């Protein structure tokens, strides 16, 4: 369009310099009109949906060309008000009220027990128990027996350290692969390392919830929130060792009450 327009401007300037005898008057008038034309901006036509048949029609239409209903009546205005403004965009995602993952402080007792076993394994490797048994218990072990006991002592100590480290690594990875996401309509959580699973729980199914915090939990700023639900697959659901447990407790309590009102659910004792 720009290329054609600029060519028209060029020809207009070119022919404007000729006298009227060379260019007939109507042609010169046409060129002058082309030369003086203004840039026009075109806007796409706005559309809306018919409140009766939901077909797309012009926004200024007063009668639907599909169903034949008039759109300027009180009935049409009431139907359009109930349906709300129509948009062809995708629906917005649900607002996320809370996101959390279990804290590493949740496995602090397991880490402490693991460190105790590592210290014990270190003593087992460093201390020559075979020599101590010979001197204190007077077992009269031969040199080959002493060497064999020492070799097995080192193997057992090293294996214990490796087992503790592997166990703690599995616990940490499993903990970090777990997540919780709370929306006004549902609770979603994912877990698993190799076998990844994602489940969700409708908010209106929550009957009761509890907040539990031990002394170590209060020190580390974590807690456990337990839910009692009417869901058959997860009648008791637990948020394990998460931060800001009181905030999560209040969010679920408020969201579950609002979900009950929206769904018209009444929980009987």
Domain ranges of the chain: 2-35, 47-83, 104-176, 180-263
- DSSP assigned state of 22: T
> How confident is the model at residue 136, as a pLDDT?
65
> How confident is the model at residue 84, as a pLDDT?
54
User: Could you give the CA distance from residue 177 to residue 109 in angstroms, rounded to a whole number?
Assistant: 20
> How confident is the model at residue 132, as a pLDDT?
67
> How confident is the model at residue 23, as a pLDDT?
43
Integer CA distances (angstroms), 227 to 49, 183, 204, 235, 252, in order = 44, 16, 12, 8, 9
Least confident residue range of 82-86, 92-96, 207-211: 82-86
Contacts for 97 with CB less than 8 Å, ≥ 6 apart: 182, 183, 184, 251, 255
Q: Between 250 and 28, name the one with better pLDDT.
A: 250
Q: Between 245 and 31, name the one with better pLDDT.
A: 245
CATH 2.30.29.30 fits 180-263, yes or no: yes
């Amino acid at each position: 369009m720009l290329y054609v327009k600029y060519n028209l401007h060029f020809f207009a300037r070119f022919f404007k310099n000729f006298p009227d005898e060379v260019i007939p008057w109507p042609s010169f008038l046409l060129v002058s009109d082309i030369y003086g034309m203004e840039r026009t901006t075109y806007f796409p036509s706005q559309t809306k949906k018919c409140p009766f048949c939901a077909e797309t029609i012009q926004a200024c239409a007063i009668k639907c060309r599909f169903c034949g209903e008039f759109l300027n009546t009180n009935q049409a205005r009431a139907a359009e008000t109930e349906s709300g403004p129509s948009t062809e965009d995708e629906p917005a995602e649900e607002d996320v009220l809370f996101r959390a993952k279990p804290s590493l402080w949740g496995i602090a007792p397991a880490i402490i027990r693991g460190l105790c076993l590592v210290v014990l394994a270190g003593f087992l490797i460093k201390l020559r128990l075979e020599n101590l048994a010979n001197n204190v218990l007077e077992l009269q072990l031969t040199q080959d027996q002493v060497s064999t006991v020492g070799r097995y002592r080192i193997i057992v100590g090293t294996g214990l350290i490796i087992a503790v480290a592997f166990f703690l690594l599995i616990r940490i990875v499993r903990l970090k692969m777990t997540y919780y996401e709370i929306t006004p309509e549902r609770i979603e959580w994912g877990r698993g390392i190799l076998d990844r699973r994602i489940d969700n729980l409708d908010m209106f199914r929550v009957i009761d919830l509890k907040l539990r915090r031990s002394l170590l939990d209060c020190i580390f700023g974590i807690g456990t929130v337990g839910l009692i639900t009417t869901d058959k697959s997860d009648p008791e659901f637990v948020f394990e060792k998460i931060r800001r447990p009181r905030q999560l407790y209040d969010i679920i309590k408020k969201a579950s009450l609002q979900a009950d009102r929206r769904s018209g659910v009444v929980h009987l004792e």
